[in-house]
Amino acid sequence: MRLSQYFLPILKENPREAEIVSHRLMLRAGMIRQQGQGSFSWLPLGKRVLEKVNTIIREEQNRAGALEILMPTIQSAELWRESGRYDAYGKEMLRIRDRQDREMLYGPTNEEMVTEIFRSYVKSYKDLPLNLYHIQWKFRDEVRPRFGVMRSREFLMKDAYSFDLDYEGAKAAYYRMFVSYLRTFTRVGMKAIPMRADTGPIGGDLSHEFIILAETGESQVYCDKAYLDLPVPGADTDFTDDAAIAGIVEQWTTPYAATDEMHDEDAWGQVEAGKQLAARGIEVGHIFHFGEKYSKPMGAKVQGPDGKEHFVSMGSYGIGPSRLVAGIIEASHDENGIVWPEEVAPFHVALINMKTGDAACDAACDKLYGELEAAGREVLYDDTDSRAGGKFATADLIGLPWQVIVGPRGLAANEVEIKNRKTGERRTVPLDNVVAALGASA
Ligand code: ATP
Ligand code: MG
C-alpha cells in the first residue's frame, strides 16, 4: 500500500480524552475514531489489525472443532423471556421497539439465540458434541464506558457455545476451548494467564478468565510466576484426544492464579514468596460452563443412548477482539508509539523514501516495494512528500515490525538501512539483499 493513496489520519497532539496509552496511541495512529459514548469506527489501519486478530481466533476455534456461524445483532424480547433474562438483564441491555411496537433488543450475548437454533435441529446425542461460534458486534450499555475500545458500549465479541449430552462431555468441550485460548492469545503475541473465576449459582470450577498483565488493567490479579514459563501447546495439538487435552489443562490450572473475587489468602500463602505475582490485569477472554441453565427452560434436549431425553449441558466462551487489540498495545509499546507483534501487525514493513521525487530513491523504493510484496511481506510505502523526520516519527508511531529506509546517500553505495522497531537495532544492507535480510530476521 502506498501511503499517498492510503487513509492514515495521524494526530500530532495527544488527545486529551485518552486516559490510557492504548487509547491514546490508537487515536494518534489513526486506527479508530470515536463516534459517540463508547462507540468507535475502525479506520483502515485499525481494521487491518482487528481482522488479523479475528483470523487467528477463527483458525484456533476451527482447529478445536468449533463451527462458525453468524447470528443477528438485533434479537426479540420473546426469546429472552424464555430464559427469564429479559427482565433480569437490567440496564446494560439496549431495548428497542420496531414499527409494529414489538420489543427487541441489541444482543449483549447470544445464549438464547444459539439455544433456539440448537433445539430446532438437533434431536440425538449422535449429533454431539457441537460447538457453534460467531464473531459479531455486541452492545452493552456499560455504566462507565472508558479507555477507548477497551471498555466500549458497542464492541466485537467472538462467542462460542458448546452442547453436550452430559457433564463429562461438556467438561471435555470446555477443556478444548481452554487449550484453544492458550494458543490464540500466544499467537497474537500475548501471554494470557487463565485464572479461576466466579461460577456464581452454577458452582463447580469450570470458569476461567484469561488475563493479560498490564498496569492499566481493571482487575487485581494474583498468580504464581510459574505461568510465565509454561509451554504453550503447539499447532499439532490433537483436539480429539480428550485425555491429552485434559493433561494440558491440568498443567495450566495447577499453579495458583485467581482474580480478586476468587482470591484465597490461604492458598496464596502457599505460593513461595519469590514466585508471587500480584498485578493488574485485563480480561481478554472468559470461558464458562453453565450446564442446563438455558437448555432446561428453553427445552433444548436430545435423545441419549439410553433412549431417554436429556437436557443438553452447555458452556459459553468469549473473547473480545476489539478489547484485545487495545490490550496488545498496552503490553507492547514504547515512548515513540506502538510495537506490533509480527502476527497482528497491520503491515510488516514500513518502506520509507527519504527523498520522494529523487529519481534514484523512487526507483529503488519501487523495486523494493515490488520485491517485498512478491515475497509475501505486507508493505506500507511512505511515498509522500513529507520530511524524512516526520516519516520516521510516523513509522515509529504506527509500530510496524520493520522499517526499510531508503536515502540518496546510502543508494550511492547501493545500500539501504533496516531498522527493527522492537529492538531499535539498525543495519545497513545491500539493496539486493533486503528481502532476504528481512526474511532471515523475521
Ligand atoms: P468485564 O468484566 O470486563 O465487563 P464481562 O465479564 O462482562 O467483562 P464477558 O461477558 O465474559 O465479559 O464477555 C466476553 C469478552 O468480551 C470479555 O472477556 C472481553 O474480552 C469482552 N468484553 C466484554 N465487555 C466488553 C466491553 N464493554 N468492551 C470491550 N470488550 C468487552
Ligand atoms: Mg461486563
Place of cell 522499517: 403
Q: How far is the CA of 287 from the centre of ligand 1 (A)?
A: 11
What pairing do the DSSP bridges indicate for beta strands 379-382 and 349-353? parallel
pLDDT of 439: 78
Out of 286, 290, 319, give the residue to mutate to test ligand 1, the one with the largest number of ligand atoms within 8 Å of its CB: 286
Residue located nearest, by CA, to atom 12 of ligand 1? 286
- Ligand closest to the CA atom of residue 194: 1
3-state secondary structure at position 413? coil
pLDDT of 224: 97
Residue located nearest, by CA, to atom 31 of ligand 1? 320
Q: Which residues contact 319 (CB under 8 A, 6 or more apart)?
A: 57, 157, 158, 181, 184, 210, 284, 285
Query: C-alpha angle with apex 149: 288 to 177, nearest 5 degrees?
Result: 25
Neighbours of 37 (CB within 10 A): 12
Whether the Cβ atoms of residue 124 and residue 306 lie closer than 8 Å to each other: no
Q: How far is the CA of 92 from the centre of ligand 2 (A)?
A: 9
Segments of the chain with pLDDT less than 50 = 441-442
What is the reported pTM?
0.96
Whether the Cβ atoms of residue 379 and residue 347 lie closer than 8 Å to each other: yes
Residue located nearest, by CA, to atom 18 of ligand 1? 285
Residues with CB under 6 A from ligand 1: 140, 142, 151-152, 155, 157, 283-286, 318-320, 322-323
SS3 of 347-390: CCEEEEECCCCCHHHHHHHHHHHHHHHHCCCCEEEECCCCCHHH
- Among the listed residues 281, 250, 255, 279, the one whose alpha carbon sits nearest the alpha carbon of residue 268: 255
Residue range 104-132, pLDDT digits in tens: 999 999 999 999 999 999 999 999 999 99
Whether the Cβ atoms of residue 309 and residue 339 lie closer than 8 Å to each other: no
Rounded Cα distance between 212 and 331, Å, is 8
Q: How far is the CA of 315 from the centre of ligand 1 (A)?
A: 16
Q: How far is the CA of 141 from the centre of ligand 2 (A)?
A: 10
pLDDT of 440: 57
Element (H, E) at 315: strand 313-319
Rounded Cα distance between 25 and 397, Å, is 8
Q: How far is the CA of 81 from the centre of ligand 2 (A)?
A: 21
Rounded Cα distance between 45 and 347, Å, is 9
